[in-house]
Structure 1
Amino acid sequence: MTSHLKKVELHCHLEGAAPPALTLSQARKYNIDISDYLRNGVYVWHDFPSFLECYDKVSEVYQTEEDYALLTETYLAELAGIGTIYSELIVSPDHGKRIGLGADAYIAGVGEGIRRAKASSGIEARLIVTGERHFGPESVIGAADYAAKANNPLITGFNLAGDERMGRVIDYALAFDIARDAGLGLTIHAGEVCGAFSVSDTLDVVRPSRIGHGVRAIEDADLVKRLADMGTVLEVCPGSNIALKVFPDFESHPLRKLKQAGVKVTISSDDPPFFHTSLKREYELAANAFGFGDTEIDEMTRTGLEAAFVDEATRRELLGRL
C-alpha cells in the first residue's frame, strides 16, 4: 500500500478527471442525455477517437463558472484525501469559448475551485493551458497567446494535447515560442499514440523541460539516452497507456526500464475515471505492478516537484512537505 506516501500529479486533464457521479448530476441539472457515454457509472468509449468524442460530450455538462469551480474543488479534494500536496491541471481556454462561457470565466471558475481546495486541505495547484492539435495551428497559437497574456499567477505552463497524429510538432512551434517568451513552463504530449519519432521531433523543435507520456521513446535506445542526458522529465500515466492499448499490459510497459536508464519519470493519472484509474491507483501500480519500493516512489514524487511549474519559494515549501 502507498497510502502513507505523499503524492504529486503533473499530468491530469481537468474535464478528464470529472467524477462520473458529478457528471451525471450535472447532466440531470441541464437535462442533457449522456446515456451513450456514461452507463452504470462508467464512461463509455472503445478507441482513441471515441475517447475524445466521449470526453467532449462529458465536458458539455459543465457550463458555468460555478460548475468549473465545483469540478476543480471536487477533484482536488479527492487528491488531498490521498496525501497529494501538489497538482497541475491541464485546461483549455478554447473549451471555455466553445461552450459559450468564455475563456476568462472558465479560468476564473477553475481558479476559484483551486482556492477553495487549498483553503480546506492545503493542496497547491497550478494550471497548464493547452492547445489541441486537432483544431489546427491557429487555435493552438491562440491558446498560447491567451496563456501568455493572462497575467494569472495560477497559469504557469503551456501544453499541446489532442490527437497526436494531426500534423508534426513543427506546425505548432510558434505557439511554444510565444509561451516560452512569456516565461511559461513547456510540456507537450508525445510518444503516446505515435512512436519514438514524435519524441525526437519534440526535443528537436521545442526542447521542453517535460513531455506528457513519452513512453514510446523506449523504441529507440539512442533516444532514451538522449532523454536521460538532457534531463527531460516524462509525465508517465501507466493506467492510461494500458487503457488506450499503447502497451498490452503492465509487464510490457517501460516505466521501470526508463527509470533504470536514467530518464527522469513521474507518475500521473491523465483522465482517471475514463481509464478506470486514479492517482491512488497509479501509485499502487508503481508498487505492485512495477515493483518499486517506497524510496523509489518518493524519488519520482520528488522529481515531480523539482520539475513542477512553480516559483522557487513554493517549490522549496513543497519539497519540505515531503
Structure 2
Amino acid sequence: MVTDPQLNGHHKFAVVADIGGTNARFGRINLKTFELDRIQVFACANYLNLTDALIAYREQQQVELIHVAIAIACPAEGDSIQMTNHHWQFSVKGTRDALGLTSFIVLNDFAAAAMSLVTLNKSETKKIGGGKKIENTPCAVLGAGTGLGVGHLICLPNGDMMPLPGEGGHADWAPLNEKEWAIHEFLARRFEGRVSAERLLSGPGLENLYQAIAYYHDRAVPPLPAKTIGARAVTGCDAIATETVNQFFASLGSFAGNLALTLNTRGGVYIAGGVVPKLLPLMAGSEFRTRFEQKGRFCNLAESIPCYVITAEYAGMRGVAQYLKQTLRHTAADETTGTEQL
C-alpha cells in the first residue's frame, strides 16, 4: 500500500474510492463523523484513466479534491500502479501532482476489504456455518468479482488493525475428484497449461466453468455471461448452469478453507465481491461448507472457524475510510509529539 506522509486533518472532507476491474465507486467521507455520502459509480471503460474519472466525480458532485484515498484491484506498492484486469495505470506522485492533491493514499482493494471488517454490523453479514469467531484474532477475506481477491486482517498489540493484501487468487487451483480433473484439463488447454483459482472463482470463472462442465458432459453450449448463468441456476431452468454454480461453491469452499488454515483465522473468513451475494439462494444447499471443513487432520480446526458473506453496500469504500481514519489518528499524534510518520 502506498501512503502519502503529507496527510493531515485540516480539511473536513476526503474523497474515497473502490476501483475494480469493471466499476469505480466514489464517495465523500466526513473526516470528523466518517459518514459516507455523495456516492457515485462509474464504469471504468468509460474513462481513459483514473485522473479523468476523479475529475468527472469532482465536477458532477461538486466536491473538492484535497485528500483522496483509493482501493484498487491490483498490487499497490511503489509509485507505479497497473491494474490487473483493466487498462488503467498511473503514477501515484504524478496523479497527486496533476490534481493538486494534499495527500493521496493507494490501497490494494483487498487491503481495504480487510479493513472494512471492523466496520460491519451483524445485519451486514450472513453466517455460513462454523463456531463463534474469536475477537482480535486473524481474519481472512476473499471475493469473487472481475477477479478473485484475497486479504487478511490482523490486530496489532497497540490495537491498530493491519491489513495484509495478497494475490492468493492467482495460486494454483487443485482439483479433488474425477470431474474436477476434467475441468482442469479443459481450462489448462485454454490457459496455456496453468489453472489459477481465479480462472474458476470469479465472474469470468463462472463463464469458464459453464463451458468446462458442458465439455465434461459432452455437450455443446453457447458462451453465456456470468449474470445469465447465475440467473439460470437460481431459477433452475438450466441444468448445466445449476451444476456450474454448485461446482463454483464447492471449489470456493476448498479455497476458503485453505485460507483459514494458512493464517489460523479464528476471527472468521469473510466473502466479499459481487458474485456470491447474487447466488446466496444456492449457497446453503451447496458443498461450500463441507469442502471448507474437509481438511483431513485439521478438520476440527476448520469446523470451528465461521464464514460470513458480506452483504453491506460499499464495504470497500468503508474500508478505505477506516484505514484513512487510523492514519489520521497517527498523524495527529505525531504532530502533537513533534515527530514525523513515514
* TM beyond 0.5: no
Structure index of larger Rg: 2
TM-score, normalized by length of structure 1?
A: 0.35
Comparing both structures, which one devotes a greater share of its residues to strand? Answer: 2
TM-score, normalized by length of structure 2?
A: 0.34
Comparing both structures, which one devotes a greater share of its residues to helix? Answer: 1
